[in-house]
Amino acid sequence: MPPFEIIEHTADIGIRAFGASETEVFENAAVGMFSLISDLEKIREDNDFNIEIEAEDRETLLVEWLNELIYLYDSQELLLKSFRIASLKETALRGIAYGEHIDPSRHDLNADIRAATYHMLKIKKDPDGWIAEIIFDV
């Protein structure tokens, strides 16, 4: 099973992330989102960024996680490539994102993702593992 797939949506774009565990589906959702922004193969993992999020429930936690990563992309001009969730509970997450600052000579930017949304948001466990669907505002 691939870590994610792209979901076409009328004016926006989304992903369906997969994982053997809830932790893995959160990590793969982040990888999927950044694959929409830029070519992951061109991103170096020169820096790491600690992230701590709290939210009222699992779905909100996923949105907050992705929006925090978008904030790092926007505010610090970072492209992120890989993610490790150190701790994941129903309402809290601690993780590390790895990437580098945008280098216009090496990085082409594709989709300009502004936010992860609650529109059509799903996160569930099925017999094969975890699935998360999320639409991004572009």
Indicate the domain borders of the chain.
4-137
Summarised one tens digit per residue, pLDDT across range 55-94 is 999 999 999 999 999 999 999 999 999 999 999 999 999 9
Choose among 92, 84, 120, 39: nearest CA to 131.
Answer: 120
What pLDDT was estimated at residue 50?
97
**pTM beyond cutoff 0.85:** yes
User: Cα separation of 73 and 113, whole Å?
Assistant: 10
Could you please state the CATH topology (level 3) that the domain comprising 4-137 is classified under: Archease, Possible Chaperone; Chain: A; domain 1 (3.55.10)
Residue type, 134: I
CB 52 within 8 A of CB 117: no
Task: Taking residues 16-20, report their average pLDDT.
Answer: 97
Handedness of CA 55, 8, 12, 2 (dihedral sign): positive
What pLDDT was estimated at residue 1?
64
